[in-house]
Amino acid sequence: MNIVEEVAYRCELALLLELSTTPKPGLVDRVHDFGETKFRDFLASAASLHPFFRRAVESGGKGLGRIIYMGVERFLGVQKGGNTHLGAWLLLAPLAASYTSRRFPVNLSTLAKSLKRVLSRLTWRDTTWIFKAVAHASPGGLGRVAYLDVRSRETYEEIRSGKITPLDALKPYKEYDVVAHEWVTGYSWSLEGARFLIKSLGEEDADKVFAQTFLWLLAHHPDTLISRRAGRKISKMVSEMASEALKAGGIYTSEGRRALSRLDKYLRRSRKLRPGATADLLASTIAMVLLTGWNP
């Protein structure tokens, strides 16, 4: 088995499975497009990242920041829908780089330990490339921040002079952004989701399990993109609505599906209510499960 190719394939597949998860309230799925971003844009974007997943695996984490930047350049250049995969790519690239054992598959605990090791070894140069990647993608709802604004020239001087690593740079934003949270905490939410997903896959159809996992993640962790765009009060309310749908059975019952439909209608009222951070978390969760050897 070619381990590099296998890991790259599974990371790309995670993006495709997340994309195809339906229903996915408030987001692009198999039956919904956005006006500015189509299902096919996400397909093109996911496919374009395959060679960069390969590079990440081969790197073992060395120079990962630059690989992340090149991946962003690529997925922005192959489709017209804008920022399709910044958050998911930032979560999955370290996962690919952490697969250093050259053995397949691995268990979640081994993957988590390797992931922490890769993230802890990144340098200020990686921070610079990662911040440039974020600025290049111009993600919606980023806003002005008090510390290390990616759009400020002074930020890059401060990173260089202070030798600020990605973990140090992201620590102040742990409660503000899903990528920052996962990098700083060793992917704690993704690991929770992966355990939920693994347990559920033994009991139900995979398509339904992915949809239920999305709902579970949204119920347990208020979406950070909604928090930035619409405020934490709204994001908590959305999580409460997801929790109610979950208690009603979610995707598995008619009452749960009606609650899902109400949630979907509410979220599609405004761009500010798109739970994109939860989609990124779902991609990371699925990737972890795929890397433990599960096949669709």
* Element spanning 87, H or E: helix 86-97
The answer to whether residue 141 scores a pLDDT higher than 50 is no
**165 located within any domain:** yes
Residue 142 has pLDDT above 50, yes or no: no
Is residue 87 included in any domain, yes or no? yes
For the chain, the domain total comes to 1
Q: Would you say residue 258 lies in a domain?
A: no
37 inside domain: yes
Kindly tell me if the per-residue pLDDT of 291 is higher than 80. yes
pTM listed for this prediction:
0.95
9 pLDDT higher than 80: yes
List pLDDT tens digits, range 165-200. Answer: 999 999 999 999 999 999 999 999 999 999 999 999
239-261 per-position pLDDT tens digit: 999 999 999 999 999 999 999 99
244 belongs to a structural domain: no
Beta bridge partners of 32: 29
Q: Give the domain range for residue 43.
A: 3-191+280-291
Q: Is residue 135 part of a domain?
A: yes
Torsion angle (degrees, nearest 10) of CA 240, 243, 245, 247: -140
Given a cut of 60, is residue 224 above it in pLDDT? yes
> Is the confidence at residue 139, as pLDDT, over 70?
no
Distant-in-sequence contacts of 25-33, Cβ < 8 A, 24+ apart: 25/214, 25/215, 25/218, 25/242, 25/260, 25/263, 25/264, 25/267, 25/275, 26/263, 26/264, 26/266, 26/267, 26/268, 26/273, 26/274, 26/275, 27/267, 27/274, 27/275, 27/276, 27/279, 32/268
Structural domain includes residue 223: no
Residue 163 falls inside a structural domain: yes
What CATH number did the domain enclosing 146 receive?
Answer: 1.10.4200
